[in-house]
Amino acid sequence: MSTQWTIETEQLKHLYTRILDLDNLDLQSQYLAPDCRRIHRAIPEAGAKDKPSIVHDAKVWKQKLEDGENSKSIAAGWSAKRCATVRPLDYAGGFVDLTDEQVKASGFSSVEDLKNYASQNNWTGLRVDTWRAAAKGAKSAQPQGQLYKFQYWWERRGGQWLVVLQDVVYAGPLDGTQGQGGEYVTDENYVR
At residue 191, the pLDDT reads 40
At residue 146, the pLDDT reads 81
At residue 176, the pLDDT reads 85
Fold for the domain defined by 7-184: Nuclear Transport Factor 2; Chain: A, (3.10.450)
The strand order across the sheet containing 82-89 reads: 32-40, 160-173, 146-157, 124-132, 82-89, 183-184
At residue 51, the pLDDT reads 96
- The pTM for the full model equals 0.85
Check: CB of residue 49 under 8 Å from CB of residue 36.
no
Helix (H, G, I), strand (E, B) or coil at 39: strand
At residue 140, the pLDDT reads 55
Cβ atoms < 10 Å from Cβ of 33? 17
At residue 144, the pLDDT reads 59
Distance CA 132, CA 74 (A): 10
User: Which residue, among 150, 136, 151, 147, has the nearest Cα to 175 in the 3D structure?
Assistant: 147
From residue 16, alpha-carbon distances to 38, 42, 175 in Å are: 17, 24, 24
At residue 187, the pLDDT reads 59
Largest CA distance in the chain: 51
Query: Percentage of the chain with pLDDT > 70?
Result: 82
Distance CA 117, CA 111 (A): 10
At residue 152, the pLDDT reads 96
Given a cut of 70, the residues of the chain with pLDDT beneath it are 1-2, 68-81, 133-144, 187-192
At residue 104, the pLDDT reads 96
At residue 56, the pLDDT reads 93
